[in-house]
Structure 1
Amino acid sequence: MRAYALIGLLAALVSFAVSAGVLILSKKYRLAPAIRARDVHITPTPRLGGIAMFCGVLVAFGIASQLGRFGVTYFALVFANPGPIWAILGACLLIVLVGVADDLWDLDWMIKLGAQLLAAGLLAWQSVQIVSLPLGNSLLVASPLVNFALTVFLIVLVMNAINFIDGLDGLVAGVAIIANGVFFVYSYLLVQQTSPSNYFNLSSFIAVVIVGVCVGFLPFNWHRARMFMGDSGALLIGLLMAVSTISVTGQLNPGILDDRKVLLAAYIPIILPFAVMLVPLLDFSLAVIRRVRAGKSPFSADRKHLHHRLLDMGHSQLQAVLIFYSWTAVIAVGFLLIFVMQSFLTPLIFMGLGFIVCVVITLVPLDPRKRTEVDVQAADIDSAASEVLASYDPLDEASEGRIRLND
């Protein structure tokens, strides 16, 4: 466990340090893109946090892979086969490069989707793919073609689900910390049962790296954000979360679990990743249905995501983010308790009470006076933003100053 903690801390420190450098360079070279109609901020803000997060991933992978040279064999099995590791890093690099280009110049959605399919295909080609799925007391093994297609679909789905909720300060980073923190605990406990002699595995390693880079980046992304992770960061997090999920599917042999856990625990590797990402996946599904019904591309942008709807209900940005955190924590921890506890009663009580609390804080309307104030402030912000943006020139320092004074 200490080795995992050290890798997570290293990823956090690198992500924090590089974030500071990227922020300085972004301000110096004025790399903040123009504000889009769907954005909830009115000050041009750099969207290059994904670069810092990728650096944290690179350093964490690099240091962990070299520990064996100094007699530290904790992650020997993780890096025993370098092919999948290089595929993971190569896919991450591709996604970050395309994400940075999109953050700067707004690429066509077809280009981004093509890059995602290419990255997912690279991973599946290098055996980072679903090899078996639990079915009762046995494992279901599909054909290589089916496994390949299912892997690509899952990776692209998770990447877009995470990217779709990236609309508020600290939202994706915080959700990723909660979800991957819980998933790390699950995968670590699972490997204790399946491989008692070695607790170090790729799934847990990636989960702790994700937590580390998000913790390091979050201080720059917390409200009011000085920098966003952009598509490069959100797609990177989604890609790594999908890889972590896929890596754990082949570790579970339902036959070695006790009878109490066989029926449900056998499906936890499938249920838990979708459970911790229920809100992003729900947002993604609703967006696709909404846009297709309107005759638009499912990847076209709009201002009707769940976080936008929370703002329209009268919640502040911080309140909306904390609501997302609450839903993620209740669902993720609840399913983890099902795997850990001796009885189903405690997890069900926890999820039931948590669900009630989350529904209340999500749906109960704000005080009428406060809601009126929120509506008036929103109208004032929209008016001010329109006036400021109309006169904004990216090459004029005076106009940038006016925008900051109006924030």
Structure 2
Amino acid sequence: MLAVITVGGWNILLTFIASFCFTFILQMLLPNKDGKPPNYGGIAVFASFWLGFFTMFPVLLFNSPQWNIFLASAIVLLTGIIDDYFELKPWQKTLGILIAANVIYFYTDVAFSSVLIAEVPAWLFDSLAYVLTIAWIYFVTNAMNLLDGLDGLVSSVATTSLVTLTVMIYISSLSIRLTLIMMLVLLAASILGFLPFNWFPAKIYLGDTGALFIGFMFATLTVYNLKNISIFSLIVPILFYAVPLFDTSYAIVRRFLNGQSMVERDEDHLHHRLLRQGFTVPQIVILMIGITLVFSVFAIFSQIYHQFRWVFIFLSGGLIVLLTVFMSRLDNK
């Protein structure tokens, strides 16, 4: 066990240093476009994460579910790179994400299990498991991408969610899956290595390249963790990703009610509204980290104190109501 911890610690450090170095090189080599920092920072996060993971688990190279997760994430990364360069149409970006999600479903052990939807008749199970898995991956991937509107926002919220999710899995699981824990921690390390260059004022952006990759990995690793546990636990990952999921859900409802396009970007997300109210970028990012921490603590406590778990779920629901009221008031200002 000590040897595993030692090797894991060195790989976490390697991942952080690799991400820092890759990002430094990228922001030096990539040209600024129209005076703005370059995109493609996600390449550094992707490369350092998988370098750290396969350095620790070389036996998983080429023939494992994790290798297929790597291939699927590479499809998402490539989709983001092309989008950052050519600005893909929404359906083209959607196609790339759905292809990657199907690779996850058919070629890995990542999918919603029968335990989670045991009440469903057998003939309907496969179809429902497929739809749930693909829809979850697609929605979370897009939610993280839509949140990427301020320097350091996605990087900070993502790291907070990853670290707290790792803590919850470690303290609440009867059997620890080492590969899952390390994937979560290494992903956090790769984002942390990138963050110094992405913090306000940013020298480089994640771009769709990085935001799509991070959202995709979030969604995939969450389903990975949900296999063979109770239906109640479906609620828990939503709490860890509450900030991007709430922001996206609110935007969808708002656009539907206003007759706006569901796929075009706009500047009416929570962080944009706070900017218009006079908040600075660092203040907004710190606020989002704080909200993420509150939801994450509720999620962790709901797993530790089972007898009070619905209390924490109701508290989370109350916080969502408060955020909704807050957003609606910003609508009227």
TM-score range, shorter chain: 0.7 to 0.9
Q: Which residue of 1 aligns with 2:104?
A: 123
Query: How many Å separate the matches in 2 of 1:304 and 1:58?
Result: 35
Query: How many Å separate the matches in 1 of 2:19 and 2:151?
Result: 17
Matched, 1:114 2:118: no
Q: Which residue of 2 aligns with 1:87?
A: 68
Q: Which residue of 2 aligns with 1:209?
A: 186
Per the TM alignment, residue 149 of structure 1 is displaced from its structure 2 partner at its CA by 1.7
8 Å contact 2:172–2:304 — kept in the other structure?
no
Q: Which residue of 1 aligns with 2:133?
A: 151
Query: How many Å separate the matches in 2 of 1:64 and 1:243?
Result: 20
* 5+ long unaligned stretches in structure 2: none
Per the TM alignment, residue 147 of structure 1 is displaced from its structure 2 partner at its CA by 1.3
Q: Which residue of 2 aligns with 1:331?
A: 295
2:21 to 17, 24, 39: 17
Q: Which secondary structure does the structure 2 equivalent of 1:267 belong to? A: helix
Q: Which residue of 1 aligns with 2:221?
A: 244
Q: Which secondary structure does the structure 2 equivalent of 1:344 belong to? A: helix
1:158 and 1:342, CA in 2 relative to 1: closer, same or farther beyond 3 A?
closer
Per the TM alignment, residue 83 of structure 1 is displaced from its structure 2 partner at its CA by 3.6
Query: How many Å separate the matches in 1 of 2:134 and 2:145?
Result: 17
Q: Which residue of 2 aligns with 1:7?
A: 11
8 Å contact 1:202–1:247 — kept in the other structure?
no
Query: How many Å separate the matches in 1 of 2:319 and 2:135?
Result: 30
Per the TM alignment, residue 118 of structure 1 is displaced from its structure 2 partner at its CA by 0.6
Residue-by-residue CA offset, 1:146-199 (whole Å, 9 max, x unaligned)? 2122111100010001111111111111111111111111222343x1x3xxx3
* 5+ long unaligned stretches in structure 1: 35-42, 69-78, 255-265, 366-407
Query: How many Å separate the matches in 1 of 2:226 and 2:46?
Result: 25
Larger Rg: 1
Per the TM alignment, residue 201 of structure 1 is displaced from its structure 2 partner at its CA by 3.6
Per the TM alignment, residue 297 of structure 1 is displaced from its structure 2 partner at its CA by 3.3
Q: Which residue of 1 aligns with 2:250?
A: 286
1:251 and 1:205, CA in 2 relative to 1: closer, same or farther beyond 3 A?
farther
Amino acid at match of 1:184: T
Query: How many Å separate the matches in 1 of 2:195 and 2:114?
Result: 35
Query: How many Å separate the matches in 1 of 2:114 and 2:17?
Result: 36
Per the TM alignment, residue 81 of structure 1 is displaced from its structure 2 partner at its CA by 9.6
Query: How many Å separate the matches in 1 of 2:62 and 2:126?
Result: 20
Query: How many Å separate the matches in 1 of 2:276 and 2:8?
Result: 41
1:292 and 1:343, CA in 2 relative to 1: closer, same or farther beyond 3 A?
closer
Per the TM alignment, residue 139 of structure 1 is displaced from its structure 2 partner at its CA by 8.3
Per the TM alignment, residue 111 of structure 1 is displaced from its structure 2 partner at its CA by 0.9
8 Å contact 2:172–2:303 — kept in the other structure?
no
Q: Which residue of 1 aligns with 2:237?
A: 273
Per the TM alignment, residue 315 of structure 1 is displaced from its structure 2 partner at its CA by 1.0
Q: Which secondary structure does the structure 2 equivalent of 1:143 belong to? A: helix
Query: How many Å separate the matches in 2 of 1:184 and 1:139?
Result: 29
Per the TM alignment, residue 342 of structure 1 is displaced from its structure 2 partner at its CA by 7.4
Query: How many Å separate the matches in 2 of 1:156 and 1:342?
Result: 30
Higher relative contact order (CA 8 A, sep 6+): 2
Query: How many Å separate the matches in 2 of 1:212 and 1:80?
Result: 21
Amino acid at match of 1:209: L
1:134 and 1:216, CA in 2 relative to 1: closer, same or farther beyond 3 A?
same
Per the TM alignment, residue 80 of structure 1 is displaced from its structure 2 partner at its CA by 9.8
Q: Which residue of 2 aligns with 1:232?
A: 209
8 Å contact 2:240–2:296 — kept in the other structure?
yes
Q: Which residue of 2 aligns with 1:223?
A: 200
Amino acid at match of 1:16: F
Q: Which secondary structure does the structure 1 equivalent of 2:219 belong to? A: helix
Q: Which residue of 2 aligns with 1:387?
A: none
Q: Which secondary structure does the structure 1 equivalent of 2:57 belong to? A: helix
8 Å contact 1:183–1:272 — kept in the other structure?
no
Q: More helix by proportion, 1 or 2?
A: 2
Query: How many Å separate the matches in 2 of 1:212 and 1:52?
Result: 12
Q: Which residue of 2 aligns with 1:46?
A: 38
Q: What TM-score comes out, normalization by structure 2 length?
A: 0.85
Per the TM alignment, residue 237 of structure 1 is displaced from its structure 2 partner at its CA by 0.6
1:333 and 1:4, CA in 2 relative to 1: closer, same or farther beyond 3 A?
farther
Per the TM alignment, residue 105 of structure 1 is displaced from its structure 2 partner at its CA by 2.4
Residue-by-residue CA offset, 1:249-294 (whole Å, 9 max, x unaligned)? 1243x5xxxxxxxxxxx623x1221101112111111222333444
Residue-by-residue CA offset, 1:47-87 (whole Å, 9 max, x unaligned)? 11001011112202211222x6xxxxxxxxxx499342222
8 Å contact 2:8–2:56 — kept in the other structure?
no
Query: How many Å separate the matches in 1 of 2:39 and 2:61?
Result: 36
Identity %: 30
1:174 and 1:139, CA in 2 relative to 1: closer, same or farther beyond 3 A?
farther
Q: What TM-score comes out, normalization by structure 1 length?
A: 0.70
1:132 and 1:60, CA in 2 relative to 1: closer, same or farther beyond 3 A?
farther
Residue-by-residue CA offset, 1:361-384 (whole Å, 9 max, x unaligned)? x89x9xxxxxxxxxxxxxxxxxxx
Matched, 1:189 2:153: no
Q: CA RMSD in A?
A: 3.0
8 Å contact 1:170–1:218 — kept in the other structure?
yes
